[in-house]
Amino acid sequence: MLIRKHIPDTVIHERINALWVRSQLISVAFDKADLLDSDRKIMAFLFLSEYATSLPDLQEDKLIEDDWVFKELKRLGLFKMEDELPSR
């Protein structure tokens, strides 16, 4: 992935906040945004969530896209513990 211009912190925070809001629709006890605790995880999340918008199987549903992104993050080894990512 090549970033050709600076991504303002406000944009990143807005995307993470939107993830937090969507997570609260599923469970108020678990926040997926809390798992993004490093710059590497945040950048991977942002990249994969943009990529997910191009996948027709995800039906332009942000909750389904989020699930897909976090499964990919886990598959890529960014989450170590098996129970770190509860299933819906």
Domain span at residue 35 reads 30-80
Q: At what angle do helices 62-75 and 39-52 cross, to 10 degrees?
A: 130
Residue 1, pLDDT > 70, answer no
Residue in the structure block whose two tokens are 């129970």: 83
What is the pLDDT, as a whole number, of residue 61? 87
The CA distance from 65 to 82, in Å, is: 21
Distance (Å) of CA 15 to CA 1, 32, 83: 18, 12, 24
Identify which has the larger pLDDT, 3 or 25.
25
Q: HSE on the CB side for 45, CA within 13 Å?
A: 24
* Assigned domain for 39 exists: yes
**Which pLDDT tens digit goes with each residue over 32-55?**
899 999 989 999 999 999 899 888
Q: Considering its fold, how many domains does the chain have in total?
A: 1
Q: Quote the pLDDT of residue 2.
A: 64
Report yes or no on 41 lying in a domain: yes
Q: Residue 85 is encoded by which pair of tokens?
A: 């990512």
